[in-house]
Amino acid sequence: MSLITETEYSSLHDASHDAAGQRDRFSVVDASATVGRGTVVGPHVFIEALASVGERCVIESGAHVCRGTVIENDVHIGAHVAFAGAPGGTQTPAVVKQGAWIGANASIVAGVVIGAKAVVRPGTVVMRSVPPGAIVEGNPANIVGYVDTVQGPASAVQAPVARKGSAIETTAVKGVTVHHFPVVPDLRGSLTVGEFDRQIPFTPQRYFMVFGVPNREIRGEHAHHQCHQFLICVRGSCAVVADDGEHKVEVTLDSPDRGIYLPPMTWGIQYKYSSDATLLVFASHYYDSADYIRDYADFIRISAEVKS
């Protein structure tokens, strides 16, 4: 798996332009388009009518920004990136959120949103919206990692098969822990067991199971105000990204004797599902739609308020 650190991410952005911005004399910017202060527009760039480009962006040579496209501040657009318009204006233009990086020769279809700080690797064809901080590649685009995410404790397949006791490992994300439960092998079939309020720090009121997820799909993408969750992949494997607003960790769940605890105010994402994966989730509360935080920008804002 390929991940990208915040330092590596920052190095992708070219900060060499001056405060007033620069436009190559061979570029074409429609009179109704807007280009923000400090933005560099390279040669043979075409920015169509009503497009909006924010401040301190870089648009490299040959890029085509179609009618109405919205590009926020501090975005890097690589050489020959193409934003595709919809025939007859039947679909809303693409939106690129602040700090995103799009590599050379990528294609972005109309109507998608490239999330803040997302990375679109060169040559990628983006046909669906990209979550904040996600790293995508391929045709069509698949999520292959998340910006500034560290790898969590070793996967279960790298750990001993049989254990007499349980073990709990901390992670870089506040309150998030990885749990290894005892395995009792037997000729009749192995057994693993965990106890709530002892090894798992809450009593569940609800459970749900996620299965039959296509490999390129992602689940989760939300946090809870009050609800605690505990995740075990009882069959197959998947990856869990946990985020407290300051740190991110990715943990592979690939064995029924391994689980991850997500406390309230943790942004959780599950992806990289194997074709046979079944994810079991225990929750401390009954379902309440008001307990969900579904927008990442809201999560960051609320997290900051809670910590202040």
Largest CA distance in the chain: 76
The two structure tokens encoding residue 47: 């920015």
Catalytic residue check, 247: no
Q: Which residues, other chains included, contact 72 with Cβ-Cβ below 8 Å and sequence gap of 6+?
A: 54, 95, 96, 97, 98, 99, 100, 116
Strand order across the beta sheet in which 28-29 lies: 28-29, 46-47, 64-65, 82-83, 107-108, 125-126
Judge contact between 67 and 48, C-beta under 8 A. yes
Cis amide linkage into residue 204, ω under 30° from 0: no
Q: Taking a C-beta distance cutoff of 8 angstroms, is the pair 303, 245 a contact?
A: yes
Burial degree of 290 (CB within 10 A; 0-12, 13-18, 19+): exposed
Q: Where are the beta strands (DSSP E) in 93-176?
A: 95-96, 101-102, 107-108, 113-114, 119-120, 125-126, 134-137, 142-146, 149-151, 167-170
Give the end-to-end CA distance of the chain in Å, rounded to a whole number: 35
Q: Which of 13, 222, 225, 247 is catalytic?
A: 222
**Which residues have a catalytic role annotated?**
222
